[in-house]
Amino acid sequence: MRKKWLWFFILLFLGGGAFHLYQGSHQPIQGGIMGASSRAGHLLREGKFPPVEKTTHTEVVIVGGGISGLSAAWQLNRKGIHSFQILELEKQLGGNAQSGRNEVSAYPWGAHYVPLPGPAEVYVRQLFEELGVIQGYDKKGLPRYNELYLCSDPQERLYLNGTWQDGLLPQTGVTNEDRKQYKAFFTAMDYFRGAVGFDGKRAFCIPIDLSSQDPSFLKYDQISMAELLVQKGWTSPFLKWYVDYACKDDYGTHMEKVSAWAGIHYFASRIGRASNSAENSVLTWPEGNGWLVNRLVEKVGAYGRCNSLVYNVEKRDKEVWVDFYDLTTQKSERMICKAVIFSAPRFVASHVVKALRDHPPAYLPAFTYAPWMVANLTVDELQHSQGVAPAWDNVFFKSESLGYVTATHQNIERYPKTKTVLTYYYPLCEGEPTEERQKAIARSYKDWTDLILGDFKKVHPDIKEKLNELNVWIWGHGMIRPTVGFIWGKERKEVLKSTPPIFFAHSDMSGISIFEEAQYRGVKAADEVLKFLKSKGLKQSK
């Protein structure tokens, strides 16, 4: 009898030990799926809202509080217009650039860096001066940046062949032929960076609309980036991986679908320099572009109203009605204004703006958006793996994901706290966006964690033991896709036409989704509104 008990205990102990050793695999993981709010989307599509209960008046309403909306507000505010409102459906302002924070660090939920702005990015530079990101200019006119915001070294590393290498361009196991093609590729990109068209404009510029209209460059919009590689004889599998990685990184789309013009733009548009940093530097913060959002919110947040889903924008005589549903009180309200800056995406506009709802525009199907999944993992310090030290951006070779960015990288304390937050990026681009979006919504939290941890495990075997919390964010319509023919096609031209008193501002009008474009759209729309109000004011006073 007793002996049996003893065996029972032995087994229990051994089992306990085995469990201890392999713990993690069965422990429930802390966290969940966070956003963005898909309920709002449903409500919009159903279109059933309670009748308006309250009406207020203001000069201008900004629909959507992402970077474009906030930038419009920033511009209005500094030009002396103070009678306006931002309506944002989410709980916080920032759109795709919003961020979160826990006891370990602040971290991004989407956009996480801005490259050094070039001379054409006038508004970006103005903002950066205001925020102390640019601290002055040297004799040559090069901006001096606050060094705390320049991405600290080491910037990037790539996990390839079981070890981490410096930089993202594959170096181990590549042949001389690969290297020759690397060289040819970058020589070509350098050429494009300096190229100027017959109209005297840069071939690949930011803002995109200041680019040359020379057909010898615009023609690249007619083929895909993958085709360009084939045409140029760039067949190196490593180079192909690298270019495809770049397309996924900036456009959330494989190079087979991305316009070659946009693909080249990624490599050739940046000419920003600094007096105190290298050319290819980027600006980043623990919370990513959420830092810029927070600074903008400090300036114009008072004009913002969150949890407000705009469902109808309608021109009525000399005024515009903006009807919105307050998600907290569950009541509808109306704002009557003179002009609207519509800085939510175009697919939203097609449900919200009455004119577009009544006559669905032909350009709509050309606007496609890449879905994304972003996860934030709070972890104890991971074991140091083979190769170079942890960097800001840590990429896994040939992974579906783009790897992760370390939120605490910019900390200057001598020892980063042992815990950190890793932001993991995953463009959902295997299939068509609609299909991927549906698949993403159908996935459970466990499906996501299995996928994420599976990917991490190949590189960091200790990820499960070290994980404290994992939260997932699905961006159903994360980024506009610069598909073949989209950037310089007739559809985009159509949406650029001014349609007072409703002015559009979202970054999807640029065909590529980056901070600089979003800001440019916002500021431009605000300028148009200013002009519009002035002209109306003049007419009224007559």
Ligand X SMILES: Cc1cc2nc3c(=O)[nH]c(=O)nc-3n(C[C@H](O)[C@H](O)[C@H](O)COP(=O)(O)OP(=O)(O)OC[C@H]3O[C@@H](n4cnc5c(N)ncnc54)[C@H](O)[C@@H]3O)c2cc1C
Residues lying near ligand X in the complex (CB under 6 A) are found at: 63-69, 87-90, 95-97, 110-114, 289, 309-310, 343-345, 348, 352, 372, 374, 475, 478-479, 506-507, 513-515, 518
Q: Which of 41, 416, 485, 500 binds other proteins (CB under 8 A)?
A: 416
Q: Which of 1, 412, 442, 538 binds other proteins (CB under 8 A)?
A: 412
**Which does residue 148 bind out of other proteins, ligand X, none, counting CB within 5 to 8 angstroms by kind?**
other proteins
Which of 135, 399 has the CB closer to other proteins? 135
- Bridge partners, residue 107, by sequence: 100
Residues 274 and 281: beta-carbon distance below 8 Å = yes
**Which does residue 509 bind out of other proteins, ligand X, none, counting CB within 5 to 8 angstroms by kind?**
none
Q: Of how many residues is the chain composed?
A: 542
- Bridge partners, residue 252, by sequence: none
Which of 73, 309 has the CB closer to ligand X? 309
Of 49, 447, 487, nearest in space to 266 by CA: 487
- Which amino acid belongs to residue 304? G
Q: Are strands 163-166 and 84-87 parallel, antiparallel or unpaired?
A: unpaired
Q: Which of 6, 122, 210, 362 binds other proteins (CB under 8 A)?
A: 6
In this structure, the dihedral spanned by the alpha carbons of residues 143, 147, 148 and 154, taken in order and rounded to 10 degrees, is 120
Q: Which of 48, 316, 359, 415 binds other proteins (CB under 8 A)?
A: 415
Of 503, 379, 507, 541, nearest in space to 84 by CA: 503
Of 381, 347, 382, 379, nearest in space to 365 by CA: 347
- The answer to whether residue 381 forms part of the interface with other proteins (CB under 8 A) is no
∠ CA(87), CA(88), CA(89), 5° rounding? 125
Which of 38, 55 has the CB closer to ligand X? 38
**Which does residue 408 bind out of other proteins, ligand X, none, counting CB within 5 to 8 angstroms by kind?**
none
Q: Which of 138, 153, 400, 494 binds other proteins (CB under 8 A)?
A: 153
Q: Which of 45, 414, 539, 542 binds other proteins (CB under 8 A)?
A: 414
Main-chain phi, psi angles of 26, to 5 degrees: -110, 0
* Burial of residue 166, with CB atoms counted within 10 A of its CB: 0-12 exposed, 13-18 middle, 19 or more buried: middle
Distances (CA, A) of 80 to 69, 233, 428: 17, 55, 42
**Which does residue 348 bind out of other proteins, ligand X, none, counting CB within 5 to 8 angstroms by kind?**
ligand X
Residues 15-44 binding other proteins (CB under 8 A) are 17-18, 20-21
Q: Which of 14, 122, 302, 355 binds other proteins (CB under 8 A)?
A: 14
Q: Which of 41, 154, 167, 485 binds other proteins (CB under 8 A)?
A: 154
Question: Residues binding other proteins: what is the number (CB under 8 A)?
Answer: 30
- The answer to whether residue 10 forms part of the interface with other proteins (CB under 8 A) is yes
**Which does residue 515 bind out of other proteins, ligand X, none, counting CB within 5 to 8 angstroms by kind?**
ligand X
DSSP 236-298: -HHHHHHHHHHHHHHHSS-TTTBBHHHHHHHHHS----BTTB-TT-EEE-TTTTHHHHHHHHH
- Which amino acid belongs to residue 491? E
- The answer to whether residue 418 forms part of the interface with other proteins (CB under 8 A) is yes
- Tokens 């690969």 locate to 178
Which of 106, 258 has the CB closer to other proteins? 106
Which of 326, 380 has the CB closer to ligand X? 326
DSSP percent split of the chain into helix, strand, coil, nearest 5? 40, 25, 35
Which of 316, 414 has the CB closer to other proteins? 414
Which of 12, 496 has the CB closer to other proteins? 12
Residues 485 and 38: beta-carbon distance below 8 Å = no
Q: Which stretch in 243-251, 338-346, 372-380, 413-421 sits in contact with other proteins by CB under 8 A? A: 413-421
Residue burial 3-18, b: 16+ Cβ < 10 Å; e: rest: eeeeeeeeeeeeeeee
**Which does residue 415 bind out of ligand X, other proteins, none, counting CB within 5 to 8 angstroms by kind?**
other proteins
Residue 521 CA to residue 526 CA, distance in Å, equals 9
Which of 108, 390 has the CB closer to ligand X? 108
Which of 412, 538 has the CB closer to other proteins? 412
Of 453, 124, 388, 395, nearest in space to 249 by CA: 395
- The answer to whether residue 140 forms part of the interface with other proteins (CB under 8 A) is no
Q: In whole angstroms, how close is the CB of 153 to other proteins at the nearest point?
A: 4
Which of 85, 236 has the CB closer to ligand X? 85
Q: Which stretch in 248-256, 276-284, 352-360, 462-470 sits in contact with other proteins by CB under 8 A? A: 276-284
Distances (CA, A) of 374 to 252, 418, 448, 474: 12, 23, 10, 6
Please report, as ranges, the residues that interact with other proteins according to CB under 8 A.
2-3, 6, 9-10, 13-14, 17-18, 20-21, 147-148, 150-155, 276-278, 281, 389, 412-416, 418
